[in-house]
Structure 1
Amino acid sequence: MDNKEKIERLATWIEASDYIVFFGGAGTSTESGIPDFRSAAGLYQTEHHSPYPPEEMLSHTFFMNHPDVFFDFYRSKMLHPHAKPNGCHHLLGRLEQEGKLKAVITQNIDGLHQTAGSINVLELHGSIHRNYCMDCSKFYSLQDIMAMSEMVPRCPVCGGIIKPDVVLYEEELDQQILMSSVQEISTADLLIIGGTSLTVHPAAELVNYFHGSKVALLNADPTPYDQRAGLLIADRIGEVMTQVTKLLHRD
């Protein structure tokens, strides 16, 4: 089966489904100009003037001990305030409005799903758009953080360090979000997995809660789940979903 036939089958599956759940990772946003982590062009491979590896800089211990180095990396490499949703984000938002898509479960922190109209978005790793003072808990938006001139953002009210509401290494995922994700995946009649290597745990283990027969896996590179997918499309997800949109909605 060639890619054209696979895309047509995915469109058919979507048309026949009533409870679609999407599980996505960094590859969902690469076509929006946001680098992923582990590919050849990913965040972990890019040059940065810090002597520390990205995995260390993105840990809770490092954040607490070296907030200046953390925020230098975070601001320069992880904030993409001008990124726009691509064809994948837009189709998912549209399918939710039509009542077919029930949940987006994402490992991304960029907020592009919400920008494209998705409402029920379960953010496993948090969001750059939520930031809190570690001392007084006052909330700050991404725009607030971007407007602060000092490298380490501090609360104007109490002077405490403002931490992004993102899950760092050594930190646990939100248990309520995990439970909601399990519930959504186990209820789905179609699970679309996209833009994820399925190697980051415990998030990757969530797909094992799917009990249906229709799993569509869209990822440019092989994953440990490939053999279990009923439909495997090794191509750019934004481009694929744009083609699906044309088939579904005759755009």
Structure 2
Amino acid sequence: MNLELLSDPLFLWPCLTGLVFALLLPLCGAYLRLRGEWLAALSYAQMAAAGSLSAAALALPLVLGGPAAAFLAAAVKNAFEEAAEATRGAAYAMLLLAGWGTAVLLAANLPLAERLGHALFDGQLYFTDRSHFLAALGAFAVAVPLLRWLSRPLLLSHFYPDFYRARGRSSRRLHLAFDLVVAGVLALATTSVGVMAAFALVFIPPLAAAPWARSWRAALWLGALLGGLAHLLAFALALVLDQPFGPVLALLLVLLGAASALLARGFPRIAA
């Protein structure tokens, strides 16, 4: 154990970069869980990883390949949902398999892609720098106002599905706009914290916050707080114990989710 690493300036940017995404991803995850689309987050992350590896193979910037693939996935998912209600889950599975298959084949056949693939799937946050932090900060500055603007329409379309139809309007553009926001955030997060760590931050903090929040806004705040605290603890543990960041964060979040569920069962009146 090397406690001196916690004060090393070299790890400041990685820690701040991960913290930004740890606060932002649970906000996206809350709306994905509301719509029953949390699995879409894993699809976007896998497609973003495949896009980043494809960009590396073509000697293009990773920051272009990941978002491009994630945006394409969001568009395909939206088209599937409009085509037929029964294909809602099929789109996630097909995108997930397409991203995984492409990423594995690239990593198996290209030396550079192999190293990058390990970083994307293991969640090696330590190699991020100031540019990654600025990209994360930019994503936060763009995504949060957009989520706030989309929040009321998303809630209306979920709880009152006939609201737009009764006014002769469609919620398709609303859902596509939300999908693009989430896809962009996950694409950038994947290149920094890794595929599974990004998915864990989308899925578990909102899940753990749900039994204890008395309102939607409280659930958003609590989810972001849990994500941020989990990131800081996982970053410190992974650094001190010399372990990959992604698995440490994922396991810590699993413990958080399990503890929240068990406590909610033990104190149903408080959690209600």
Say which structure is richer in strand. Answer: 1
Greater helix content: 2
Q: TM-score, normalised by structure 1?
A: 0.28
- TM-score (structure 2 length as normaliser): 0.27
Which structure has the higher relative contact order (CA within 8 Å, separation 6+)? 2
